[in-house]
Each structure stands twice: as C-alpha cells, then as structure tokens.
Amino acid sequence: MIDEKWPHRFQPTINPAREPGPIDLRRNYAQPAYTGIGTFMNVPICLDQADLRAGNVDVAVMGVPLDQSVGHRGAAFGPRAIRTEERYLFNNYEDFVHSATRVRPFQLLKVVDYGDAPVDTFSNDRSMPPIREMVKEIAETGAVPIVLGGDHTLLWPSAGALNEVHGPGSVAVVHFDAHPDCHAEVHGNAVSHTTPIYRLIEDEKFPGSNIVQMGLRSPSAPDDEQFNWMRRQGMKSHFMAEVERVGIDAVIDKLIVDVSHVPNVYLSLDIDVLDPAYAPGTGTPEPGGLTTRELFPALRRLAHETNVVGMDVVEVAPHIDPGYSTALNARRAVLEVLTGLAMRRMQISSSNYVNPIVSGQVKFPMR
C-alpha cells in the first residue's frame, strides 16, 4: 500500500496536455552521452502507461537510485552513470550494431527510458512499494522492464511485481552475484541488499526451485546455516568453483535447463559477479569472479534462449571507479540482453549464436 502522506509521484495535472507517446529529448542527432538530457542510449522517454501503450513499447529502462542498505554508499548514483558514462563521441541508439551477432536490437525493439522510481532517501522500507508500482506499470503494458540500480534490495519489489503480473510461480529468477543474498535479516533489518532472495521465497512465495544463482564465491556467505537453508528450499546455486571445473558454457547450459520448467525469467545482475578487475566500482567486490568475456555471452544466451520478462543491474557505485569501467560494463550487459531479446524476436533457432563471418566459421567475402 502506497503511503499517501508521501507525495512520491507528480500528479498528472502538472504536465501539459499532449498526445500520449514516447518523447525524443535530443536537440541534436549526433551528441555524446554526457550532453543533453540523459536517457539510456539517448532513447525517447515515456512518463506513464499511456505513453508506453501508445508507443507500442517493447522495453522500458528505469532507474532506482537506492543505496540505504549498503555499507559502502554510492550505488544511488548507478542509474545516472549507466545511462551517461559512455565515452564514445557519438551515442545514438539507431546506430548500434552488436559486434558478435551483427544484430541491431534498436531496429527490432522499441526501447524507451521510463525515468527513475521515487525512493525515500531516509527509508529503505518505504522505498519498496513505489519501486514495485513502477515496475508493475511497465509490465502491465507487455513491455520488459530493465531496472538500473541502486542496491540489490530492489530485486524484491521488482521480481515481486512481475510475479504478480504474470501469475504466482510463473517467474524464475536467475541471480548473478558473488553473494547469495539469502539473509533473513542483517542487524535487525529485514529489508536490505543482503535479503532479497529470502524475501522472495518467504514473502512472495517464490518456489525455491524458481531461484537459480550464478557466480557465488564469497568467503563469508553462505555460512553453513544459509547453505543448508538454500538446499532445503530447492534452490539451484552454481558457484564459481563449478565454472572453474567445467567452464562457463557448460554451466550456462545447465542454468538454461534449470529454468526450463518456468515460462518466464527475470535476470538479476549484481555487478560484483564480475571480478573486481572488470568492476571495481561496487560496494562489496570479491576476487575471482567472472570475466566480461564470460558474462556477456551468458546474458545474451539467456535473453535469446529463455523468455526474459525483466532484468535488473545493481550495485554500480561509480564514485569508487576512476576508470569508468564498472558503469561501462553494466551498460554493455544491458545491451547484451537487448540483443538477445532481438534475436529471440528474429526466431534465430541455434543455441549460442554468433555471426558465422564474424566468428570465423565462414570466410570473409572478397569484394
């Protein structure tokens, strides 16, 4: 229930009357990401469900500037950084072509920016309902919400909203993370970035078999109690030790089978699943993680080979990354998922598809 005492959303009467539909905010076609009004890849914005429906939107990117529950604050600046920290001179979504597949996702999908969810700067608990409300607004139109965080607490209301829209038990969560996030509470706080998986199972009644984890490697979690709780719930957890033993492709093959019994998939990407060499800008880095070369094809495969209905990218803290690589890699992760969604729409049937010329399977043609 939304607290009516907190005016978290503008009333419709504040905006001037106009025909519903996406709004392109670019003054110039060719402009760097760090100029103008920042939207993801400079895509148009939508302000409400009427805009989403009128624009026949396929994907809506939204931000959640939330970091009250993180020991190392700063993830609240993640959404803005992921949107605008690109260093290419020109940043126009119309021009984007995926290098490995030669797919142009923005020509196949209508992608917009839906702005940021209102969060209560002083209360993590009170921030949960409006996040859930905004994700639900997107999903109710049939569009795929992509949520830029912000800390990992937002997984709970985001996946919960999709479970509500698509039906109880119909959504699997594929959780990329160095940490299991299965605490019941931390220092007496039940709503934190360490508790969203527990909240989904206990409060949203997600079947444990609908939760699949990837990349776990923290030396402090799960402890024995958590480890046994996860197993009792029927969760499937793929630790980095498994990746080291059999390789990333074999683990992703298993992961796709893990969610095959559920019609819909939600991807939750904590950027700390990457090794700190690739993502130093995060509050809880853990050595020994995935490389970008492993993560990006895995995300693309999941979006191509399963029915992804939502995604989040969380824990990007740009202020502790002087090289911008964390936001850059988070942004690329979203582009990989968009490419996979486009490939699914194209009905590309082969698993782990890459363009045969780019991948060297077919000789580059002479002209």
Above 90 in pLDDT, residue 84? no
Residue 339 CA to residue 66 CA, distance in Å, equals 27
Which residues touch 128 (CB under 8 Å, ≥6 apart)? 153, 156, 157, 191
Contact (Cβ atoms closer than 8 angstroms) between residue 40 and residue 63: no
Contact 215, 273 (CB under 8 A): yes
pLDDT over 90, % of the chain: 74
pLDDT digits (tens, 9 = 90+) for 223-253: 899 999 999 999 999 999 999 999 999 999 9
Tell me which of 32 and 257 has the higher pLDDT. 257
Average pLDDT, integer, range 184-188:
80
Q: What are phi and psi of 340, to 5 degrees?
A: -60, -40
Query: Would you list the DSSP string of 307-331?
Result: -EEEEEEE---GGG-TT-HHHHHHH
Domains, in order of start, for the chain? 43-345 (3.40.800.10)
Q: Which pTM does this prediction carry?
A: 0.94
Q: Which helix (H) or strand (E) holds 137?
A: helix 124-140
Whole-number average pLDDT of the chain: 91
Q: Name the CA dihedral angle for 129, 38, 299, 60, rounded to a multiple of 10 degrees.
A: 50
- Residues 57, 22: Cα–Cα separation, whole Å: 9
DSSP state of 47: -
